A and B are shown apart, each in its own frame.
Chain A
Amino acid sequence: LSLEMPLYSPWFQGPLSASLEVDGDRVISGRFERGYAHKGIENLLRGAGFATAIPLVDRIDPEGAPFTELALCLAVETLLGVTVSRRAENIRVVVCELTRVSQHLKYLSQVARAVSADTFFHYALRDRERVLGLLELLTGARFCNAYLRVGGVYQDVTEGFIEQVLDLCDHIQSRVKEYNDLLSFNSIFLGRTTYVGVLHPEMVREYSVTGPAARASGVFFDLREHLAYSGYSRFDFTTPLGSGEFGITGDAHDRVLIRLREIIESFGLVRQALETLEPGLFRAQVCDDVLDSVGRSDETETTAQVESARGVITCFLRVNPERNRIDRAQFIMPSLPLLSALPALVAGARIEDLSVIFSSMDVYAGEVDR
C-alpha cells in the first residue's frame, strides 16, 4: 500500500512531503520530497554588501538566525583580516547559546507533542518564552535577530540584561529536574521513544549527520571543541554523548536526553561568557581593517563552519575582486543530511512511531531548501 503524506504535515517543520510504502502497520520504504520552500536566499546574496547580507541569511533559519549570521561573519572576517574583540566574542557566545537553548526547548516541546505529552509541551514553551524575551531585550527581535556584524555585534549588552540572564541560569537548574520527572524518565515517554528511530554510529558518518543527532549516537563531534571558533576554547564545557541509557544508543530518547543536557551546558557557557566579559569594543572599526587588509591579501574565497543547534553550518564565501561585496555565498545546512538519513530510519518502523522519528530528527524544510 502506498501512503502519501500531506505537504503541510504537523510532523515536519515546513513543507516536506513523504510517500511511504506500507505493509499493515509497518513502513517498508519512504521517499521524501523537498523543494517547496526555495527562498532563493543564496541567489539574493549575490552582489549584496556585507551588512545587507546579515538579515538575508537570517531567513534561512529564522529561529537559529545567530548561527547563520556567525558563519557568514567568520567567513568575511577571515577574508578581510578583521580581528574581533574578546568582548564581542563573548557577546556572540551568549547570543548563540541562548538561541541554542531556545531551539532545544522548542525541540523538546515538539517531541512532547508527538507523543501527546501536552503538559511538558506547555512547560517547555513557557521557559522558552523567557529565553526569547531575553533575546528580544538584547537584539530587539525574538527571531531573525540581525544582531551580529562583521567585526562584532550590532549593539553592546543592554542594562539589566546580564542580571536577568544570570537569574535565568539559576532558575533553569530547578526546571531541569522538573523536565526529567515529567518527560525524560516518565515510563510512557520511555515506551514511546526508546528503541525508536535508531541512528547507528556508522550511519552518522555515512549520512554526514552532525550536531546533537550525531552526539546522541555516541559520535563525539562538536565544532565548538574541535575548531574552538569565536573564543569557545576559553570556556569550560563538556559535550554530552548518548549511551543508550534506557534503550539503544542513538534512539529517539537519546536525542531528547542529549538536548536536555546541552541546555545545562549552554547555560554554563552563557554564565562563563558573561562573568568574563571584558571592557572593550563591541565592534571592530571594520573600515580601517578592510583598508589595511587590501594591501596584504588577495584571497577572495574562504569557508567557515559553526556548530548550530541542529548541527554544522558550512558557509562558502567568495567576494568580488574589490573585496567589498559578496560574489557568491552558499550554505550547507544540517537539515539536509538529516533528511537524507530519514529513509533509512523509517524503513521497518511502525506507523505510530513515525511522528516520534520525524520530530526527533528535527528536519526543517527552510534549511533544506534555503
Chain B
Amino acid sequence: MNSSKLREEILKIQGTTEVPGPKENPKKSRSGAEEILTIRADEKTLDVFFRKIYSLRGHLDFFFGMMGDHSPTEGKRVLYFFCATKLSLSVVVAVNVSPEEDSAIPTLSALFPSASIFEKEIYELFGYRFSGKGSENELRPKGMTAFPLGGLA
C-alpha cells in the first residue's frame, strides 16, 4: 500500500472529511519528507472510525497521543495523532466535541491503552467527557469542579 492508497482508505470511512490545505502551499511539512493528512471525523460514528483505523494498523502503525483544543474558528475538539512510519504519512484526526452536556466521546483506550492517560488529562483540563471514564480528580486539586482550560478559546 502506498501513501495515496492509505489516504483513500482512511477517507472512505463513513463520517470523515479531509481538511484541505491551501492550494499554493500543499500540506507538506518543511521539516522533512512527511505529508500531513488532517481529517475531520464525526463524533457519532467515531467508534466505527476507530475500529477501521485499528484494522489499518499494519500500515497506519503508530498512535502518538491526543490533545484537547478549543479553537476560535473550529470550536471545541479533540485531536488524535497517528503515523504511518513506512509511508512517511502523519494523520491528524480532529473530532469536534458535541456541545450537549451529557454527551461523551467514544474512548480509544480499548484499542490503544495509552489513550487512557491522555483522555484523563483532556477531561480534567477541558471538561470533554469520554465514555467509560470516571470524573474523579487526579490532576486538579481535590474538590475542584471547574475545568482550567474549559472556557478558553
Residues of A whose CB lies within 8 Å of any CB of B are 33-35, 38, 43, 46, 74, 77-78, 81-83, 205-210, 221, 226-230, 232-233, 296-299, 301-305, 312, 314, 316, 318, 327-328, 330, 332, 336-337, 339-341, 369
Contact = CB atoms under 8 A, between A and B. Distances in A.
A228 B116 contact: no
A302 B29 contact: yes
Contact of B29 (A78, A205, A298): A78
Interface stretch (B1-9, B58-66, B98-106): B58-66
Nearest to B121: A336
B53 interface: no
Nearest to B124: A35
Interface in B105-153: 112-114, 116-118, 138-140, 149, 152
A298 B22 CA distance: 7
A318 B33 CA distance: 21
B81 A205 contact: no
Nearest to A320: B72
Contacts of A226: 34, 83, 85-86, 88
B108 to A, nearest CB: 11
B72 to A, nearest CB: 8
Contacts of B81: 303, 314, 332
A290 to B, nearest CB: 14
A205 B62 contact: yes
Given A78-B29, A228-B33, A299-B21, A312 B64 contact: yes
Interface string B17-60: 00001101101011111101010000000000000000001000
Nearest to A35: B139
Given A43-B149, A208-B65, A336 B118 contact: yes
Nearest to B138: A35
Given A208-B114, A297-B22, A233 B139 contact: no
Given A35-B139, A81-B30, A303-B36, A207 B114 contact: yes
Contacts of A332: 64-67, 81, 118
A304 B88 CA distance: 13
Residue of B24, B25, B81, B114 with highest tally of chain A CB at under 10 A:
B114
Interface residues on B, range: 35 or more
A185 B71 CA distance: 53
A340 B31 contact: no
A221 B114 CA distance: 17
Contacts, number: 122
A226 B87 CA distance: 8
A221 B84 CA distance: 11
Contacts of B83: 226, 305
A119 B30 CA distance: 45
A205 B92 CA distance: 17
Interface of B: 21-22, 24-25, 27, 29-34, 36, 38, 57, 61-67, 69, 71-72, 79, 81, 83, 85-86, 88, 90, 92, 112-114, 116-118, 138-140, 149, 152
B69 A330 contact: yes
A226 B22 CA distance: 25
A301 B19 CA distance: 11
A246 B32 CA distance: 37
B65 A339 contact: no
A290 B71 CA distance: 23
A297 B23 CA distance: 9
A213 to B, nearest CB: 13
11 contacts: A34-B139, A78-B31, A227-B88, A304-B31, A305-B90, A314-B81, A330-B67, A332-B66, A332-B118, A337-B114, A340-B114
Contacts of A228: 32-33
B85 A221 contact: yes
Given A208-B65, A316-B67, A227 B118 contact: no
A316 B21 CA distance: 16
Nearest to B19: A301
Contact of A299 (B25, B85, B118): B25
Contacts of B32: 227-230, 232-233
A318 B71 contact: yes
Contacts of B72: 327
Contact of B92 (A34, A46, A296, A303): A303
A233 B72 CA distance: 37
Given A297-B24, A299-B25, 17 more contacts: A34-B138, A35-B140, A43-B149, A74-B30, A78-B30, A205-B63, A208-B63, A221-B85, A226-B83, A226-B86, A228-B33, A230-B32, A298-B22, A316-B69, A332-B81, A336-B118, A341-B114
